Amino acid sequence: MLGALVPLDVRPAPSPVPLVDDLDEVALYVPPYMGGVEDLALMARMPNLRVVQLLTAGFENALAHLPSGVTLCNAAGVHDASTAELAVGLTIASLRGLDDFARAMPLGAWVFGRRESLADKRVIVIGAGGVGQAIRSRLEPFEADVTMIATTARPGVHAFSELPELLPRADVVILAVPLTGATTGMVDAPFLALMADGALLVNVARGPVVVTEALVEQVGAGRLRAALDVTDPEPLPPDHSLWTLPGVLISPHVGGNTSAFLPRARLLVAEQLQRFAAGDALRFVVSP
């Protein structure tokens, strides 16, 4: 059997998913989008598995369940448009106080006042991959001054080593990096201390990129603001202080989960199946 494909849907599938009657036949596996650990654990029951094609850009959760010798591919590019769209949306919503207006509506309160514009803001985007570049292309028409950061410098992109010089000048810092050993806890107390007073941190990467306790301290002191699509822990417990801190806007990890996801996911899986069947090189291989 070429592969076992679950229905491509934007909703989490029930876990575990009954894929085929005989898992011994599965050679290519596409775990359900936003599925659970049970879906990943099924890989251990597929002795002839050769390829796992994820429907997410992040792949850290799958690595712990990946059998030796199996090729892992992520969904690079599938979520770029949606995630970039939300990054810009969170930035504008926070700067313009849209969350304050929404909270004032049930009270019938006319919360008039001058708010900040994205225009003329100095924005740092940390992560210059597909999502980061998509964020940049959407920010520039808003007349923002965008600086890109990556591990190493290249034309139009600064290196991580330049952050101590660049952070104090930024009005907005957007995180769009994968979760790796190098990026886990990257935004810690010293990092946040370098950010300018009143600056906005936007995280559409992964929750553990930011040290939550350090962020709570800085935001709680009124020095920084935050707009977060991802948190650590996640889901964020109902009694967590981030929910009620002034200057914090939270969305429930919905960066890639839009109507734009499904057609892009279908195209990717169809192309990968064709490549696999023809013996051609697969795209977006992340392991080995």
For the chain, which domains are there?
A: 4-78+259-287 (3.40.50.720), 80-250 (3.40.50.720)
Q: How far apart are CA 59 and CA 36, in angstroms?
A: 13
Residue 132, CB half-sphere, CA atoms under 13 Å: how many?
Answer: 23
Phi, psi of 162 (to 5 degrees): -90, -5
- What is the reported pLDDT for 13? 44
- What is the reported pLDDT for 234? 95
Q: In the chain, helix, strand, coil percent, each to 5?
A: 35, 15, 50
Q: How far apart are CA 251 and CA 86, in angstroms?
A: 9
- What is the reported pLDDT for 22? 78
**Amino acid identity, position 278:** A
Q: Which H or E run includes 212?
A: helix 212-220
Give the burial class of 280: count Cβ atoms within 10 A of its Cβ; 0-12 exposed, 13-18 middle, 19 or more buried. Answer: exposed
Q: Are 149 and 160 in contact (CB under 8 A)?
A: yes
- Beta strands 285-287 and 71-73 are antiparallel
Q: Identify the bridge partners of residue 173 per DSSP, sorted by sequence position.
A: 124, 201
- What is the reported pLDDT for 85? 97
- What is the reported pLDDT for 236? 97
- What is the reported pLDDT for 60? 86
Number of Cβ atoms within 10 Å of the Cβ of 118: 18
- What is the reported pLDDT for 20? 54
- What is the reported pLDDT for 15? 46
* pLDDT by residue, tens only, the chain of 288 residues: 344 444 444 344 444 444 456 799 999 999 998 888 999 999 999 999 999 999 998 888 899 999 999 999 999 999 999 999 999 999 999 999 999 999 999 999 999 999 999 999 999 999 999 999 999 999 999 999 999 999 999 999 999 999 999 999 999 999 999 999 999 999 999 999 999 999 999 999 999 999 999 999 999 999 999 999 999 999 999 999 999 999 999 999 999 999 999 999 999 999 999 999 999 999 999 986
